Chain A
């Protein structure tokens, strides 16, 4: 799947600006950012499920086929079969009136024309594949009768039912307990490897993205501000926003006391993400950055290649402004 220069605009606001993303078969891509930064919108673009009020421009190609202005019925043929998606709230994402087995059997019967009994056998195999305990008994249960982690496994089984080449997981672990979340992440990675299925993993949890993906994008205010190999970006974040996200993460390294005996504190990013209709001109992050200089308020920074596939859009890194200041962490 190939997105180039994709923008999504709503009346007076830009939710996603000129995003170019290429997803190869079997690749695992993480998308991180705070709420409202456009990461879910990017996920919806991959499914053709941007709300009706949104204007999508640019190019979205699936296996070479242009889909950016494709009508709903064209997209529908690709959903579940080529691209599938799982969502944040596993409880709310399952139809409460259907047994979970029937939920998973439905696309098999509709899209692949399987009989009930064949579909049930396939659903059983899928439940085994996603590691649901006692899968035969699970088939007959309702969503309210199983746990959150199990519901997410059911949703993964549903998404896998028609063997999609790409699975978009929008905050799949946010609503789950930490240890359940870890097991779901490992399951997604294992499935991506065994099925050679591409995975787009959308999350604000850097640890989850680190565990799940090879490549990552950092988004802010509808822009992709930094991208590169996940390990590289997390080890050497170059954009001030990425640095801020990493600094704001409660982890072992910011426990305890500093050498001068003061208690270490979490470094948080000041302020909140501005609403989409009220983003600053110039760099979207100006106002919260703390390292601003002359061009930040006026000019949009362009991505700068930083080697090893990493790039970031920040004036501090741009050769045009070389020598002006230094980024923390760049040294």
Chain B
């Protein structure tokens, strides 16, 4: 049988990643000094540096002038659980901040009308919010909600409170299931300015739809999320493997 031996740099990279796992290094934590890592793993300096450079390009590490190499910040967003942003931040031990970028009423265009299965011209609230974690801007969410389902939504606190909580508690709208699509796009100038990145940087483009139990679409949301600090987790299930599901 064919065998494969990782090249020295690949091996160095695996040693670093194993070290991060074993020592449970988190965002902002430092790697040991280069000479210690070389001694620990029997690597020469240039191999180690090349592996660090590779992990830096990949976005796992950041080098900080004068203080070595650190673990890059990552915020993991779990899909499939309809968790509110503030609950998510609390569960991850992050400090969360929300800024309202705009709140307006728009009419359904062709695209929105199709999403909501409503006729052209029906009124929708459009709420655009900037989400920050640990003082880092991470995503811009632009949510659309039919005015008919949540009249006078503007009277509620959507900055400190959760939109989903308001929809459930005030308007009795149960949010039950949805669909989310992710792809890559490039940040435009306005998004880049809010997210503190450069125009043209790669960002996640996420479009989601959340429905009530009866299938009425309650919210349609477009999210631009920073590609360098956000990661998304989800669980796959195989159909034939359902026996072990509750």
A and B found bound together: no
Q: Which residues of B contact A (CB under 8 A)?
A: none
